[in-house]
Structure 1
Amino acid sequence: MAGGRAGLAHLCGPRLLNEAVKLSGTDLKAALAREAETLGFDCLGVTDPDAVGNAGKYFREFLEAGAHGDMDWLAAQPERRMDPRVLWPGVRSIIMLGVNYGPAENPLALLAKRTRGAISAYAQGDDYHDVIKKRLKALARWLVAASGEEVKVFIDTAAVMEKPLAQAAGLGWQGKHTNLVSREFGSWLFLGAIFSASDLPRDAADADHCGSCNACQEICPTAAFPAPYKLDARRCISYLTIENKGPIPHEFRKGIGNRIYGCDDCLAVCPWNKFAQEGREAKLAARAELQAPSLSELARLDDAAFRALFSKSPVKRIGRDRFVRNVLIAIGNADDASLAPAAERLLDDASPLVRGAAVWALSQLVEREQFDALAAKATGSETDDDVRAEWHVARPSS
């Protein structure tokens, strides 16, 4: 990095020992980079508050097209995202930081194991929001002590366009899959931001190095990219399995395969990932029980068991019902009739969302005669319109 991207090692040295000595400019930035490395950050860069540039225009077009789906929080006060000074008028420098989370195994390999659930690599360990925010706050406290200036900390739940800012800070570029790509860490970077009232030396923006590659566009199972650098979240498996609160639309169910929380396909196929080896020691630890969980076992989760299994995990935020909905879609895609009993047990679940997904799963796994018998038994007592619709679609009247 020009001051940040080429790695932090060349800036290593003793930590700032005398916090009463206030630093500024190049000295402050160098000491900041050393402290960031000590705290576990893999890259750092600094940019201007007005560096969002044309990304603000594209973001507004994204909202106007309705491509954000039900993510109303994205559309709330968009001007705060498009101009960091609206978020905080006192900001003079934006410090962008990255933490590598490159998985030890290729996530695409698990997609062939149809009776196992695929959880996105970032969600296989503790919630990165909590892990990274702790590091950001520690670095922010250090920066206040070192500079005497006010700071504010943001991670991706805040109204910050972190990917365009990260590109402007030299950490990588926003690839055709709309995520950040790094020459050092591929498509596997968590991002965080510190807004500072200090005037720090800027890094040069990174250039786009995607070239003619369209691998991330071509691999998407649900055609969520209408064009390079454009995403329709409504078609994205990450949106469908995480943000979407209702039944998963029929047109996308087969494409979801065994992905039960998020999707790594467009990230995992990126050719730049082959250069990500050097940062792998900094990845966040994955839990063994979340790397290839059994679909039949996951289908048995009640609320208490779900909360216990996903304690401290980002998966916990979607709740048991939406998660089991996802598991049932994967069961329906498994092409394994031995999973049918796991789905049948859930036809009486208290959640209509789960019951409806169970109907679809069974429609994919059992013979017509058996399905008709289940339908005859269930439809007379079913009161939820969405579940009744699932039975009707799966078993249309002749």
Structure 2
Amino acid sequence: MLNGKKIILGITGGIAAYKCGHLVRLMVKQGAEVKVILSHSALQFITPQTLSVLSKNEVLTDFFDKNFNWNNHVHLAEWADVVLIAPLTANSLAKMASGACDSILLATYLSARTKTIVAPAMDLDMFQHPSVKKNLETLKSYKNEIIPVETGELASGLVGEGRMAEPENIVSYLNDFFTKNLPLKGKSALVNAGPTYESIDPVRFIGNRSSGKMGIAIAESLVFMGAQVTLVLGPSQVEIKNKTIKVLRVESSEEMYDAMLANYSEKDIVICSAAVADYKAANVSELKIKKKEDNFKLDLIKTKDILLELGKQKKNQCLVGFALETNNLEEYAKQKLKNKNLDLVVANSASDVGSGFSGDTNKITIIDKHNKITNFELKSKQKAASDIVNYIIDFVK
């Protein structure tokens, strides 16, 4: 999926430009952020207004568009994860091959440090011309990628090679491009996150201050590295922006236990970052408990230990737990690592400023099963999540 990817779509003046509205829609639907640059000749085939509505961004057509600075091509080139030019006409191909720069699209292409991918589109005889073939080879020598043309009826009425790849095939190519070299491609991961709510009566519960931010950031980082991720999420108000994450919503520790065990056996990486309740009410009242006595006694019983059970059933998984402590952090984390058969434990102290529940930062220590201790500085939870996932990648090599 293209979730979170930043894509510049350059459209040149071929009849296939009319398909680019659909192409933009497909990329946006997969979660990409798309910014469109139109060549002047492309304006004959599709309007900026259409592409602006579909991309949810302004469309560039000129160095001196009223809403942009003349040097916007530099910022665009730095912003993008990839530059996609579709359709690529013979004229624009020749300019790219020679280094010509007479439009904002070509200026952006020449300024781009990221990969450029092109989808040629032209008539049969034009596509077969030796100069076109030579220019395509020149683009390849510049490390650009060429999406193969397709065969079919062309605008001239001829039938043969030269059609721009269909939008669905272009999107498929982009997906392969973004995932083919990712270190966790082909791996599956299971993450739990957030608090649990243990009912006392129909309106009250035992809970904690966990927001789920850390676990959600870990799930997103795993996806970014190519993994397929299932997230078991307790009551959390944090929005899950990455639509490729399979989210299982639960409320109680019992529900989280069942969901984790049901999805555990086939996973390669399992990370338990949820703040699961250690105790729950021995008896849950069917009616709201009325305030009558000055003192109220609530009997509690232990909840099922999710991490302990996963450790017992572990086969080839990399099993990672979290240890949030207020004192003796390293000692208690090492105990959890051993007692629950973990490969790694991520420890953090609720006493450290900027660490713990609810906030947007965390300061972590990772201890592995060989008792190697790695300390990290205070960082955003997104960056801390990246540190954890990168550590796991190195650990499982």
Q: So what's the TM-score if we normalise by structure 1? A: 0.23
| Structure with more of its chain in helix, by fraction | 1
- Greater radius of gyration (CA): 2
| Structure with more of its chain in strand, by fraction | 2
